[in-house]
Amino acid sequence: MKNIISASMLASDLTNIEKEIHRTENAQVEWLHIDVMDGVFVDNITYGNNVVAAMRKVSDIYFDTHLMVTDPTNLIPLFALAGSNMLTIHLESKGNTTANLKYIKKSGMNAGLAIKPATDWKEVIPYLPLCDMVLVMTVEPGYGGQGFIPQCADKVAMLRKYCNENGFDKMNIQVDGGINTATAATVKDAGANVLVAGTYLFRAVDMKAAADAIR
Ligand code: DX5
Ligand code: ZN
């Protein structure tokens, strides 16, 4: 399985989003990770579907959209229209997860399901047939620049083993939070193949070299 890097724009210079998107493309980073926070599911508020639609006008990069919101259902068609490629919802959000994952697929996007550090990895099992990706959070959602929680790598390993043994060997397993050269090695060993990195990539002097180093 090819490893994919997804640059979390939360750590980018938000006064110049277009320049930062192009910097990401020039670094040959595969995906752009867009953290949508509603101020209720997590403490922060970030950006929404209108900002994503504006970004879509200046780039064709794969938009990996991470919804940290209380109730995602009504937002699904809005992000499809805005140009999101992947839409990841949280298992801990309100609403019917099965129906929401089906709605994401029906809207023409890839479907992701995220779990917070305290959520048991086994809770995603019933939803695997509806998922293109499972996101195992490696920090508490809400802020960039936090330290990686080592126990979360064990969840990745158990999930990858389960997927391999149960016909989900193509499943993308994403990690998000505290990824750098040291923690990237740990999560890849555990079986993650999509690595989100914010602070590490956007603070790097040479983003391409930094992305290559963790890929
Ligand atoms: C946290 C976000 C992450 C965050 C990662 O709630 O989901 O995507 O931006 O940032 P770093 O890589 O700086 O930990
Ligand atoms: Zn994220």
The secondary structure of residue 68, as a DSSP letter, is E
CATH number, domain of 145, equals: 3.20.20.70
Alpha carbon separation from 73 to 100, 104, 106, 112 (Å, rounded):
6, 9, 13, 14
Say which ligand is closest to the CA of 8: 1
Beta bridge partners of 172: 133
pTM comes to: 0.98
| Complex ipTM value | 0.98
Task: Provide the residue range defining the domain that includes 106.
Answer: 4-214
Beta bridge partners of 7: 32, 197
Q: Whose CA is nearest to atom 1 of ligand 1?
A: 141
Q: CA 176, CA 59: separation in Å to the nearest integer?
A: 23
Pocket test of ligand 1: the residue of 139, 187, 195 to mutate, having most ligand atoms within 8 Å of its CB, is 139
Count of domains for the chain: 1
Residues with CB under 6 A from ligand 1: 8, 10-11, 33, 35, 66, 139, 141-146, 176-179, 196-200
- The alpha-carbon radius of gyration of the chain (Å, integer) is 16
Q: CA 48, CA 65: separation in Å to the nearest integer?
A: 10
pLDDT in tens, the chain (215 residues): 899 999 999 999 999 999 999 999 999 999 999 999 999 999 999 999 999 999 999 999 999 999 999 999 999 999 999 999 999 999 999 999 999 999 999 999 999 999 999 999 999 999 999 999 999 999 999 999 999 999 999 999 999 999 999 999 999 999 999 999 999 999 999 999 999 999 999 999 999 999 999 99
